[in-house]
C-alpha cells in the first residue's frame, strides 16, 4: 500500500494504491503524470520518515511507501 | 437596504438557522427560528445537495463556521506533515519559535518567516531571501515550509536560483543568489541547535 500526498488548501489530498490492485495502481500513475505535468516536484520517503530520507523522484514508483508532491517555487 | 433572511441550515425538529442579511436582529446576525414558526413551503428551501452549504455551529466561544473548521483541519494536517519531516532539533525549534534551520550545501537557511528567510552562507555572509511556492496563499502556512524544505532537500540549487535576496536593510535583488562554492562534503540536510 502506498500513499501520495498532494499539498493543497486542505493541507494535502491523499491518494492511495495497492500493489495487488491494478485499478488503484493505474489511477495513482495517472495522477502522478498529471502532477508532474504541472511542474510539481515529487519526493518519496519511507512512511513518516524525516526529510533526510526523502528522495526526489521523476517517475511513479509503485514500491514507494509515501510520495509527497510540492509546488514549483518562485521569488517572492 | 431591507434586511432579509438567508437560510444557513435547516435543523430537523429544531427549526431553521438563518443569517440576517443587511442588518441585525437585537444585535445578532444569525438566528435560530424555531420549527413551530417556520411556515411550510413559503419559500422553497434549497436542496441539501444543491450548491455549497455554509454550515455553522454554535460553541461557547461564539460562532464557528464550517469554513473555520475546514481551515483548522487543514492547518492541523499541514502541521502534522511538516513535523513528520523534521528531525528532533528542527521540531523543537519549530514548536518554540515557529522557525527552523536547514543546512544546505551552500549554507544554512532558516524557514518559518514568509518573505524573510535568513541565509548564512559558508563564507560567513548573511542575506535575507524570499521564496514561495506557486499560489502559496492557497496553502496552510505549514505546507509552505514543507514545500520549501523538500525543495531545499532535493533541488537546493533551484531554490537559490529563483530566490529574491537582499542584505539586511538593503535593496532587494532578483535571483540567482550569489553563492559560495558548495560544501565539499554535503550533508544535504542537518540541523543546527537553535
Of A7, A43, A76, the CB nearest to B132: A76
Pair B28, B99 in one domain: no
Q: What are B125-152's pLDDT values in tens digits?
A: 999 999 999 999 999 999 999 999 999 9
Pair B93, B156 in one domain: yes
Pair B101, B154 in one domain: yes
Pair B100, B163 in one domain: yes
Residue of A46 and B41 predicted with greater confidence: A46
A chain contacts of residue B134, beta-carbon cutoff 8 Å: 71-74
In contact, B117 and B131? CB cutoff 8 Å: yes
- ipTM surpassing 0.95, yes or no? yes
- Output phi, psi for A14, to 5 deg: -100, 135
In a domain, B180, yes or no: yes
Of A5, A68, A74, the CB nearest to B134: A74
Pair B131, B186 in one domain: yes
Please answer yes or no on whether A68 and B81 come within 8 Å at the CB atom: yes
For residues B124 and B107, what is the distance between their CA atoms, to the nearest angstrom?
Answer: 9
| pLDDT, mean over chain B | 81
Pair B93, B183 in one domain: yes
Question: Across-strand partners of A74?
Answer: B132
Pair B15, B97 in one domain: no
| pLDDT, mean over chain A | 97
What's the pLDDT band for B100 if we cut at 50, 70, 90? very high
A chain contacts of residue B136, beta-carbon cutoff 8 Å: 71
In a domain, B76, yes or no: no
Residue B17, pLDDT score: 67
- Output phi, psi for B17, to 5 deg: -90, 120
In a domain, B68, yes or no: no
Pair B46, B101 in one domain: no
Structural domain of B15: 4-54
A chain contacts of residue B81, beta-carbon cutoff 8 Å: 5, 11-12, 68
Please answer yes or no on whether A75 and B77 come within 8 Å at the CB atom: no
In a domain, B70, yes or no: no
Which of A11, A53, A69 is best to mutate for the B interface (most B CBs within 10 A)? A11
Pair B107, B160 in one domain: yes
For residues B194 and B94, what is the distance between their CA atoms, to the nearest angstrom?
Answer: 10
Q: Which residue of B lies nearest to A51 if distances are taken between CA atoms? A: B85
In a domain, B194, yes or no: yes
In a domain, B80, yes or no: no
In a domain, B119, yes or no: yes
Pair B18, B98 in one domain: no
When divided into structural domains, chain B yields a total of 2
In a domain, B60, yes or no: no
Amino acid at each position: 500500500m502506498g500513499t501520495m500526498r498532494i499539498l493543497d488548501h486542505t493541507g494535502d489530498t491523499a491518494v492511495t494504491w495497492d500493489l495487488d490492485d491494478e485499478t488503484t495502481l493505474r489511477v495513482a500513475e495517472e495522477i502522478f503524470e498529471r502532477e508532474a505535468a504541472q511542474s510539481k516536484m515529487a519526493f518519496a520517503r519511507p512512511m513518516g520518515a524525516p526529510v533526510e530520507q526523502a528522495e526526489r523522484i521523476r517517475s511513479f514508483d509503485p514500491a514507494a511507501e509515501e510520495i509527497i508532491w510540492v509546488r514549483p517555487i518562485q521569488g517572492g | 437596504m431591507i434586511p432579509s433572511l438567508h437560510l444557513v441550515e435547516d435543523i430537523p425538529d429544531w427549526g431553521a438557522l438563518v443569517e440576517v442579511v443587511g442588518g441585525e436582529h437585537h444585535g445578532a446576525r444569525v438566528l435560530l427560528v424555531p420549527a413551530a414558526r417556520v411556515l411550510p413551503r413559503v419559500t422553497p428551501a434549497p436542496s441539501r445537495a444543491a450548491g455549497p452549504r455554509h454550515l455553522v455551529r454554535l460553541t461557547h466561544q461564539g460562532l464557528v463556521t464550517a469554513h473555520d473548521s475546514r481551515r483548522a483541519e487543514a492547518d492541523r494536517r499541514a502541521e502534522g506533515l511538516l513535523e513528520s519531516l523534521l528531525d528532533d532539533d528542527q521540531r523543537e525549534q519549530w514548536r518554540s519559535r515557529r522557525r527552523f534551520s536547514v543546512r544546505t550545501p551552500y549554507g544554512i537557511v532558516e524557514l518559518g518567516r514568509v518573505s524573510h528567510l535568513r541565509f548564512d552562507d559558508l563564507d560567513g555572509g548573511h542575506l535575507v531571501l524570499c521564496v514561495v511556492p506557486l499560489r502559496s496563499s492557497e496553502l496552510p502556512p505549514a505546507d509552505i515550509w514543507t514545500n520549501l524544505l523538500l525543495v531545499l532537500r532535493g533541488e537546493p540549487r533551484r531554490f537559490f536560483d529563483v530566490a529574491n535576496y537582499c542584505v539586511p536593510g538593503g535593496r532587494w535583488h532578483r535571483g540567482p543568489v550569489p553563492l559560495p562554492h558548495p560544501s565539499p562534503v554535503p550533508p544535504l540536510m542537518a540541523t543546527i541547535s537553535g
